[in-house]
Amino acid sequence: MNLARFPRLRLAHLPTPLEHLPRLSQALGGPEIWIKRDDCTGMSSGGNKTRKLEYLLAEARAQGADIVLTQGATQSNHARQTAACAARLGFDCHLLLEDRTHKSDPDYTANGNVFLDLLHGATVERFASNPDMNGELAKVGARLAATGRRPYLIPGGGSNATGALGYVNAALELVTQANDLGLRIDHVVHATGSAGTQAGLVAGLRGINAGVPLLGIGVRAPRDKQEENVYRLAAATAALCGCEGAVRREDVVANCDYVGTGYGFSTPGSIEAIQMLARLEGILLDPVYSGKGMAGLIDLVRKGRFQRGQNVVFIHTGGSVGLFGYVRDFGFQAPVATA
Ligand SMILES: *Cc1c(COP(=O)(O)O)cnc(C)c1O
């Protein structure tokens, strides 16, 4: 598990803090809940994709790329972090944004992450809902290469084995922090989507035989498909790290009961989770990923899945910028003038 042999550019503020959430833990009356602040990775308000981009963009630079391409949903946090990291490194950036929700709310289509994509100087191309966006990415890449550009293509979510190295590294970081704090971690919980985060974590935790179980809360696919995607990528990532065979199928566990209407739509549970974290701990979650991940954790605590005396670490994967695309879902009235 010698990560130093992989090319890497330093983009993230690391290590991210590992903090206790006393008021949330008390309000739920179950386990002690801790939070790993990967929303604080630094680039353009942070998030989990920056760890992956440290390895991906090192590969882009080594290949002599001059433009970075990736794809995601309209309010993609991955696209926004790619645009920011590309700007910092002097790459051009082109984003393919897929309309997965058919929302026409201008907050959703132009504010939040979309606004920041443009602010970072990325060019943006919109796509209708499409099951093969990585195929579209390849087409656009080929078109650019034919004009003499040197594109580097990053799959959706930065989720290939190179990107997942960022979360192998995060697993090592987390275990070291817990060791220094004398914290026995009983479970790790986080939101899982394009699978790279969970795959890297599983490969890292298994690669050092940490004995820390991991639960991914799904945001899109049904459980079988999500676990299969994570397992395939985790096995490839472990092999890349020299730990072939370290990940067993049973190490990959996802719970996809909190997706609700579908990807990109808030749920009553995610809105409740966002408000609880905002009001009990002053922490911002998002409606698409971290809010659903936390909604899953809250519900499982209420159902007794995790108990008093245990320590559960929630990995905050970021996304708070997305809140500005979902203002209406909260139903707040604008404050009125009293004088
Ligand atoms: C992308 C993302 C995730 C999911 O990570 P994957 O590696 O795609 O599974 C979770 N939370 C936020 C905020 C994200 O942007």
Strand partners, 98: 73, 127
Cβ atoms of 114 and 86 closer than 8 Å: no
262: tokens are 């579908």
pLDDT at residue 24 in the model? 98
Cβ–ligand 1 distance for 196 under 6 Å, the answer: yes
Longest Cα–Cα distance in the chain? 69
Residue 338: pLDDT above 90? no
**Using 50, 70 and 90 to split pLDDT, how confident is the model at 144?**
very high
Q: Which residue has the tokens 């990528």?
A: 233
Residue 217: pLDDT above 90? yes
Mean model confidence pLDDT for the chain: 98
Cβ–ligand 1 distance for 197 under 6 Å, the answer: yes
Mean pLDDT of 243-248: 97
Instruction: Give per-residue pLDDT as tens, 6-28.
Output: 999 999 999 999 999 999 999 99
**What is the H or E stretch that residue 101 is in?**
none
Burial class (CB in 10 A: 0-12, 13-18, 19+), 33: buried
By alpha-carbon position, which residue is closest to atom 15 of ligand 1? 77
Cβ–ligand 1 distance for 226 under 6 Å, the answer: no
Cβ atoms of 231 and 207 closer than 8 Å: no
Instruction: Give per-residue pLDDT as tens, 278-297.
Output: 999 999 999 999 999 999 99
pLDDT at residue 194 in the model? 98
Cβ–ligand 1 distance for 194 under 6 Å, the answer: yes
Q: Ligand 1 pocket test: which of 38, 48, 227, 255 has the largest number of ligand atoms within 8 Å of its C-beta?
A: 48
Residue 1: pLDDT above 90? no
Residue 112: pLDDT above 90? yes
The residue annotated as part of the active site, out of 25, 44, 45, 76, is: 76
| Residue 129 among the catalytic residues | no
The CA-CA-CA angle for residues 19, 275, 23, to 5°, reads 40
Give the rounded percent of residues in the chain with a pLDDT score beyond 90: 98
Task: Give the position, in ligand 1's atom list, of the atom nearest the Cα of 289.
Answer: 11
**Using 50, 70 and 90 to split pLDDT, how confident is the model at 339?**
confident
Alpha helix segments (H runs only) across the chain: 22-28, 49-62, 77-89, 106-110, 113-119, 133-146, 161-181, 196-207, 223-240, 268-281, 290-302
Taking the alpha carbons of 35, 41, 43, 48 in that order, is the dihedral positive or negative? negative
Cβ–ligand 1 distance for 82 under 6 Å, the answer: no
pLDDT at residue 167 in the model? 98
Neighbouring C-alpha atoms within 13 Å toward the C-beta of 233: 29
pLDDT at residue 232 in the model? 98
Mean pLDDT of 301-324: 98
